[in-house]
Amino acid sequence: MYSLRTQLGGAGRQTGERLTLHPPAKVNLTLEILARRPDGFHELETLMLAVSVCDTLICEPTDDSKLHVRCQWAAGLLAQSIEIWQPLPATNDNLVWKALERLRIAAGVTRGVRVDVIKRIPAQAGLGGASADAAAALLAANAVWQLHWPIERLAEVAAQLGSDVPFFLTGGAAVCRGRGEQIEVVRAPRCSLVIVRPPTGLSTPAVFKRCQPSSPRQAASDMLRDFARGDSAAAARALHNGLQQPAEQLSPWISKLRRAFETTGCLGHQMSGSGSSYFGLCWHVGQAKRIARRLRSMNLGAVMVAETVSTTLQAAAKASQQV
């Protein structure tokens, strides 16, 4: 679901360049809370996978010096559930706008840009939608403004925006450490998933406030080893999220979703990130579709079928610069 289309207005004029990226959601297959840091954040280790639920970000330069950012839900979503597809942040509070502003200041750019974001990834869901959009905005603006910054330099800006943003510059799959900014890219396993975002979201700071650091379980390395040898069932047994217990204290939906997934026959299941989305790993896409139909009948929220993706936003944006 990472893809890009480049359109040139006129005879290849750079001022007419228009880029379209599809930033993906993510799920956390493991999430270990190791310690509280002096800066108030938490030391963690997490195995994250990009999945095929995605937003769309369209970026083009403008003739003025302003940042024009517009975000809206994809057509039809608001009719499904007004509780889930809630109002989006105002322009200056939007992480895409903040990403563009930080990059423009860091690069000394005076040109403007217009960015339209069509949202499909639910908010307050632990799926990283805002972070993915911010990473896509950095990559698209880097191409449109012809900065030619390497990914390492963009990652410095990304780390200032949020813990998950650096992952989306490199993802399909990675073990992320520190605050999330230390990225070890790994081979993405092929998985089919069912993801449910319940009617209410969760605040990331509120969930982290209740979490307790624990000893590392080596869950990420165990899981990657099992995936590499083709043992998906053993990999699913290594699923772990150290934030799920505090999230269950804050929202009854987490335990309700856990009980619902226990009846589905999927390989394994847990909450993603700080919630409130919950996902199950499935044997194959056919099983995922059957489970999704069953969960939709239970009125648990927005139900999505997804698969892991391995192509990166970075590769898509780089391809645009070669057009």
Top pLDDT among 256 and 37 is at: 256
CATH hierarchy code of domain 4-186+310-320: 3.30.230.10
**CATH 3.30.230.10 domain extents, the chain:** 4-186+310-320
- Residue 264, C-beta contacts closer than 8 angstroms, at least 6 positions apart: 194, 280, 291, 294, 295
Residue 239 in contact with residue 281, Cβ under 8 Å?
yes
Q: Is the pLDDT of residue 309 over 50?
A: yes
Top pLDDT among 91 and 25 is at: 25
Average pLDDT score over residue span 118-143: 96
What does pTM read for this prediction? Answer: 0.90
pLDDT for position 15: 36
Which entry of 26, 98, 119, 133 is annotated as an active-site residue?
26
pLDDT for position 171: 74
**CATH 3.30.70.890 domain extents, the chain:** 192-307
Return the number of other C-beta atoms located less than 10 Å from residue 111's C-beta. Answer: 16
pLDDT for position 5: 36
Alpha-carbon gap, residue 192 to 285, rounded angstroms: 5
Name the strand (E) or helix (H) holding 118: strand 113-119
Mean pLDDT, the chain, rounded, equals 88
Give 33-91 pLDDT, tens digit per residue.
877 777 767 789 999 999 999 999 999 999 999 999 999 999 878 666 556 777 787 77
- Residue 289 a catalytic site member: no
pLDDT for position 6: 33
Alpha-carbon gap, residue 105 to 116, rounded angstroms: 21
pLDDT confidence tier of residue 266, bands split at 50, 70 and 90: very high
Average pLDDT score over residue span 163-171: 91
Q: Is the pLDDT of residue 12 over 90?
A: no
pLDDT for position 167: 96
Q: Is the pLDDT of residue 143 over 50?
A: yes
DSSP assignment letter at 312: -
Which entry of 55, 133, 164, 226 is annotated as an active-site residue?
164
Q: What is the CA radius of gyration of the chain?
A: 19
**pLDDT above 70 as % of the chain:** 88
- Residue 280, C-beta contacts closer than 8 angstroms, at least 6 positions apart: 193, 194, 261, 264, 266, 267, 268, 269, 288, 291
pLDDT confidence tier of residue 310, bands split at 50, 70 and 90: confident
Size (the chain), residues: 323
Q: Where are the strands (E) in 131-276, listed by range? A: 173-178, 182-185, 192-197, 240-241, 268-271
pLDDT for position 34: 78
- Residue 63 a catalytic site member: no
pLDDT confidence tier of residue 13, bands split at 50, 70 and 90: very low
pLDDT for position 105: 96
Alpha-carbon gap, residue 247 to 273, rounded angstroms: 10
Q: Which of 298, 122, 268, 105 is nearest to 189 (CA)?
A: 268
Q: Which range scores top for mean pLDDT: 35-44, 155-164, 303-312?
A: 155-164
pLDDT confidence tier of residue 213, bands split at 50, 70 and 90: confident
pLDDT for position 41: 72
Give 214-243 pLDDT, tens digit per residue.
776 778 999 999 999 999 999 999 999 999
pLDDT for position 316: 63
Name the strand (E) or helix (H) holding 130: helix 129-144
Alpha carbon separation from 56 to 60, 106, 274, 313 (Å, rounded): 13, 25, 23, 12
pLDDT confidence tier of residue 92, bands split at 50, 70 and 90: confident
Q: Which of 150, 135, 172, 118 is nearest to 306 (CA)?
A: 172
Give 269-288 pLDDT, tens digit per residue.
999 999 999 999 999 999 99
CATH hierarchy code of domain 192-307: 3.30.70.890
pLDDT for position 134: 97
